[in-house]
Amino acid sequence: MSRLIDKLTDQTWRHAMGRQFEALADEIFQVIRWVLVVGFASYLSRAHDIVILHVIYWVLAALRFGYIASRFLLRPEIAFLGNPQGRWARLAQSALNFGLCVGVFAMTLYAVSALTQAIADYRGAL
């Protein structure tokens, strides 16, 4: 218990923990923001069958894919293969991370699509 109290009173430790929490909260906020923006564009494109709204939706979806890709590819990759040695191993590592990006993007695109379809159906039922 005294060790926990020492940690909580240590300004350096508190500052480091605060920065980590702030970074995590920022990432969560960014994901929620992208989902809301793309979801709203999806809703508008479903509710009003106008070509420009479909274009805006797909452009925003592509930007969201770029954001997801930047998280998994441009920043330190997830080490599926540990510390790969050699060109082919590094290429395989990057391919696995790219596959993860595509998977995450597809899941969020599906979730946003299902949610906006449900909202559009609900709004149409009123």
Mean pLDDT of 71-84: 73
* Rounded percentage of the chain residues whose pLDDT exceeds 90: 6
Residue (of 77, 68, 82, 110) closest to 95 by Cα position: 77
Question: Which residues, 6+ apart, have CB-to-CB distance to 73 below 8 Å?
Answer: 94, 97, 98, 101
pLDDT the model gives residue 51? 92
Confidence of residue 126 (pLDDT cuts 50, 70, 90): very low
Question: Which residues, 6+ apart, have CB-to-CB distance to 5 below 8 Å?
Answer: none
pTM of the predicted model over 0.75: no
Measure the CA–CA gap between 27 and 95, rounded to whole angstroms. Answer: 23
Measure the CA–CA gap between 101 and 45, rounded to whole angstroms. Answer: 25
